[in-house]
Amino acid sequence: MKLTAALAVSTLAGTVYGVADHLWYHTDLSNVTEFYNEVNVVPGAEPISTYFMTNGFTGGYFGVQHNTEGKTGKTVLFSVWDNDDGTKTTQQYCGKSSRCSTFGGEGTGLHANYDFQWTAGVTYAALTHAKPLNNGYTDISGYFRHENKEWYHLATYRRKTNSPYLSGLYSFVENPSSYLINETRRANYGNQWVRNSSNKAQELTVADLTHTTLVDSDRYGSGAKGTSFYLFIDGTTNDIPSKTTITRKATGVKPDFDMKGSKGSIKSTQKSHSKRKTTSKQKSGRN
Ligand SMILES: *[C@@H]1O[C@H](CO)[C@@H](O)[C@H](O)[C@H]1NC(C)=O
Ligand SMILES: *[C@@H]1O[C@H](CO)[C@@H](O)[C@H](O)[C@H]1NC(C)=O
Ligand SMILES: *[C@@H]1O[C@H](CO)[C@@H](O)[C@H](O)[C@H]1NC(C)=O
């Protein structure tokens, strides 16, 4: 596809899919290698057909999903697109509880679905890590942190990139279909941070709000509450800020970038499963 992945998400979401709104984080840190975000989905605001995307970047995204059909229900999803020039992204690692496969349709690439029945009202974290390889490729990894602070490595994908670092950092809430548009989907996104390869970290407290092209029945809203941003779509009300650049309070507390977790080690990430057979494309929800 010719569009950047991030743009395609917005564009297609407006025309083919349902409503979405997005937060685009400001950062002036150069050569970002890690992007950390926390998500807490509001209880009762997570009907099926919702993607709470936390860690979006140029070339991929990562978040928690409530799928529209199939038996898996809730999943954690980490996707990396092929390069726009057609160069395929390749799998370097697939976590032992991940279903790793190619996807097509809205761009092509590889994704990992982790069948984790996440719970609304619980704070989870997602960490995206980019390791530039000096040959025009970058290894991009997705790590999900459970309630007990243990990390799970979903997958590592090698992507041909124009810039070897993480850029275009964003989050969104989306209903990828027109299913249950009468029900609100809402989440808090908090404590965003980035770090670069010289171990310099920056907290991301400012974001720009955008949304898909709306029809009259579409509802959305966003804002900041304490140290979190919130985003919602669908339902019956709007909460549209007067200024589309939103600022949250800083926590000043650097996150667990090195994934020491609650037990001082990275769990379930070391054994390689990259030879594992990929499964067929999932039929519901997002790529
Ligand atoms: C990391 O960020 C700091 C502050 O912006 C900058 O001085 C440093 O050069 C950056 N390191 C890399 C590897 O880009
Ligand atoms: C940041 O990345 C660019 C592109 O890879 C590189 O040329 C530059 O040297 C890096 N800066 C630092 C401070 O490492
Ligand atoms: C939304 O519509 C569905 C059926 O169309 C209905 O079952 C559900 O109760 C409605 N939800 C709300 C919050 O009104």
Per-residue pLDDT of the chain (287 residues; tens, 9 = 90+): 222 333 334 333 334 457 999 999 999 999 999 999 999 999 999 999 999 999 999 999 999 999 976 657 999 999 999 999 999 999 999 999 999 999 988 789 999 999 999 999 999 999 999 999 989 999 999 999 999 999 999 999 999 998 999 999 999 999 988 889 999 999 999 999 999 999 999 999 999 999 998 888 899 999 999 999 999 999 999 999 999 999 999 999 999 999 987 654 444 443 333 333 333 333 346 77
Asked if residue 271 belongs to a domain, the reply is: no
* Closest ligand (CA of 235): 3
Q: Distance (Å, rounded) from C-alpha 146 to C-alpha 158? A: 25
Q: Distance (Å, rounded) from C-alpha 257 to C-alpha 271? A: 20
Mutate to test the pocket of ligand 3, among 175, 179, 181, 183 (most ligand atoms within 8 A of CB): 183
Cα 147 to middle of ligand 1, angstroms: 32
Cα 165 to middle of ligand 2, angstroms: 9
Asked if residue 120 belongs to a domain, the reply is: yes
Cα 45 to middle of ligand 3, angstroms: 12
Asked if residue 202 belongs to a domain, the reply is: yes
Say what the pLDDT of residue 178 is: 86
Query: Whose CA is closest to atom 8 on ligand 2?
Result: 31
Asked if residue 222 belongs to a domain, the reply is: yes
Which residue range forms the structural domain that includes residue 187?
Answer: 3-11+19-247
Greatest Cα-to-Cα distance within the chain, rounded to the nearest angstrom: 51
What CATH number is given to the structural domain containing 217? Answer: 2.60.120
Cα 48 to middle of ligand 3, angstroms: 12
Within 6 Å (CB) of ligand 3, which residues are found?
A: 180, 182-183
Q: Distance (Å, rounded) from C-alpha 62 to C-alpha 161? A: 18
* Closest ligand (CA of 234): 3
> Cβ distance 114 to 143 under 8 Å?
no
Asked if residue 141 belongs to a domain, the reply is: yes
Asked if residue 140 belongs to a domain, the reply is: yes
Cα 76 to middle of ligand 1, angstroms: 31
Q: Is the shortest distance between the CB of 33 and ligand 2 below 6 Å?
A: no
Say what the pLDDT of residue 287 is: 74
Total number of domains constituting the chain: 1
- Read out DSSP for 225-276? ETTEEEEEESSS--B--SSSEEEPPP------TT--TTTTS-TT-SS--TTS
b/e sequence 163-174, b meaning 16+ C-beta within 10 Å: ebbbbbbbbbbb
Full-model pTM: 0.88
Q: Is the shortest distance between the CB of 200 and ligand 1 below 6 Å?
A: yes
Asked if residue 282 belongs to a domain, the reply is: no
Say what the pLDDT of residue 271 is: 37
Say what the pLDDT of residue 275 is: 33
- Read out DSSP for the chain? --S-HHHHHHHHHHHTS--EEEEEE----SSEEEEEEEEEEPTT---SSEEEEEEEBTTEEEEEEE-SSSS--EEEEEEEEPPTTSPPPEEEEE-TTEEEEEE-SSS-EEEEEE-----TT-EEEEEEEEEE-SSSEEEEEEEEE-TTS-EEEEEEEEEE-SSSS--S-EEEEE-SSSTTTTS-EEEEEEEEEEEETTS-EEE--EEEEEEPPP-TT--EEEEEETTEEEEEESSS--B--SSSEEEPPP------TT--TTTTS-TT-SS--TTSPPPPPPSSS--
Asked if residue 270 belongs to a domain, the reply is: no
Q: Is the shortest distance between the CB of 31 and ligand 2 below 6 Å?
A: yes
Output the six-digit token pair for 257. Answer: 């970038």
> Cβ distance 139 to 109 under 8 Å?
no
Nearest residue to 66 (alpha-carbon basis) of 10, 119, 145: 119
Say what the pLDDT of residue 71 is: 59
Q: In the sheet that 170-174 helps form, which strands lie side by side, from edge to edge?
A: 98-103, 109-114, 74-81, 60-66, 50-56, 170-174, 20-25, 206-211, 245-247
Q: Is the shortest distance between the CB of 31 and ligand 1 below 6 Å?
A: yes
> Cβ distance 138 to 164 under 8 Å?
yes
Cα 200 to middle of ligand 2, angstroms: 14
